[in-house]
Amino acid sequence: MTPISQYGEFKLIEHITKGFPVFYEGVLKRVGDDAAVVRAEKGSVSVFSTDLLLEGIHFDLAYVPLKHLGYKAVVVNLSDIFAMNAVPYGITVGIAFSNRFPVEAIEELYDGIRAACSRYGIELLGGDTSSSRQGLIISITAYGTAEADDITYRNGAKPNDLVCVTGDLGGAYAGFLVLEREKKTFLANPDLQPELLHYDYVVSRQLKPENKPALLQAFKNLGIKPTAMIDISDGLANELHHLCGQSKCGVTIYADKLPIDYQTVNVAEEFDISPTTFALNGGEDYEMLFTIDIGDFQKIKGMEGVTIIGHVTPEEGALNIVISPTQITPIIAQGFRHF
């Protein structure tokens, strides 16, 4: 018998989905990107994506409020829609929970889901509920739409394209480490209150991430279409490997260009870890990693909230980070692993 750990998430998905019959010619993208794309009417497309969040794997209710969890569950799924350069319009929600959850707890969870729907202008379209023997399970499917010409896949990056990211990186992982530390302290001594006063930003990055809907409008306003795009859910290094693997290219990025918030740097120093490691391998930032044609440099260089961190190279599989003028090292994907 082959252990699943030998495959990992993406190799496993590729293995178990190969050979499925193809019936509908209107499907433009099946398995292998942030979302599936299906041809709709008059040059538009529909976009679909789904994600699971499992208690004990993706969240810990010891420090994650149910309202924040509901909000985050929506944001996690919408991120895949935005990564296709598409606009979300609705979600379906499936939840399973054990009898330890009263009605009030489920109401709190849905208060967070409702808040996210209001924030991003999307509708709750339906869903399902069930009992669970394994705690709380949340499955959300997000639905979006776009003009066919606007859709951006992972496989379009080409040599000399600029590599860009939104926001800052590593903050969610910093928040996770702080929350885990405070949880251990509390379990050791319940009389001690959590020390979170100086960690508000990184904790919020972990508990209540946000998407970047304004990014898509900015692309339109500037006349830019990314050549490839992916959301940063499992760490920048992981996503660079996925994007380059799909685009059959390499990449060079620069450590001093990585956008890292000062609070993330402080946490990294507290844990005696390089801030660059946080930026490369910390997951759950839900920022966007994208490439654009070098000819659009003048348009992108002053774009608020966007940082150019490197460029695409022609050598397939050659992913490198420049630490200093004399130190260039391969980018090793060490972010979150599902198996």
pLDDT band at 96, cuts 50/70/90? Answer: very high
In a domain, 179, yes or no: yes
Residue range 319-327: mean pLDDT, rounded: 95
Q: What is the pLDDT of residues 160-187, one digit of tens each?
A: 999 999 999 999 999 999 999 999 988 8
Higher pLDDT, 134 or 19: 134
The predicted structure's pLDDT at residue 336? 52
Q: Which two tokens stand for residue 166?
A: 């939104």
Which has the minimum average pLDDT: 54-63, 126-135, 189-198? 189-198
- Model pLDDT, residue 339: 41
DSSP 135: S
Q: In terms of domains, do 116 and 240 share one?
A: no
The whole-number pLDDT of residue 71 equals 98
Has residue 24 got a pLDDT over 90? no
Q: Residue 33 has what pLDDT?
A: 65
Task: Select from 92, 120, 150 the last residue of a domain.
Answer: 150
Q: In terms of domains, do 145 and 85 share one?
A: yes
User: By percentage, how much of the chain surpasses pLDDT 70?
Assistant: 93
pLDDT level of residue 122 (50, 70, 90 thresholds): very high
Burial of 115: CB neighbours in 10 Å, binned 0-12, 13-18, 19+: middle
Reply yes or no on whether the pLDDT at 4 is more than 90: no
Residue 323 within any structural domain of the chain? yes
Residue 339 lies in a domain: no
Average pLDDT over residues 35-44: 83
Weakest-pLDDT range from 31-35, 50-54, 132-136: 31-35
Mean pLDDT of the 34-50 span: 86
Same domain? 137 vs 243 = no
Same domain, 195 and 227: yes
Element (H, E) at 52: strand 44-54
- Looking at the fold, whether 24 and 145 belong to one and the same domain comes out as yes
Q: Within the chain, how many helices (H) and strands (E) appear?
A: 10, 13
What is the residue-averaged pLDDT of the chain?
91
Closest of 23, 103, 25, 86 to residue 226, by C-alpha:
86
User: Which residues are CB-neighbours of 280 under 8 A, at least 6 positions away?
Assistant: 169, 235, 236, 237, 258, 321, 331, 334, 335
Any domain includes 338: no
Q: What is the CATH number of the domain that holds 32?
A: 3.30.1330.10
C-beta of residue 334 within 8 angstroms of C-beta of residue 237: yes
Please say if the pLDDT value at position 85 is more than 50: yes
Task: Quote the pLDDT of residue 187.
Answer: 85
Q: Which domain holds residue 69?
A: 4-150
> Rounded to whole angstroms, what are the CA distances from 322 to 166, 257, 326, 329?
20, 10, 8, 7
Domain assignment present for residue 38? The answer is yes
User: Which of 234 and 3 is assigned the larger pLDDT?
Assistant: 234
Are 271 and 176 members of one domain? yes
Confidence of residue 32 (pLDDT cuts 50, 70, 90): low
Q: What's the total number of domains in the chain?
A: 2
**Average of pLDDT values for 43-65?**
93
Q: Using 50, 70 and 90 to split pLDDT, how confident is the model at 190? A: confident
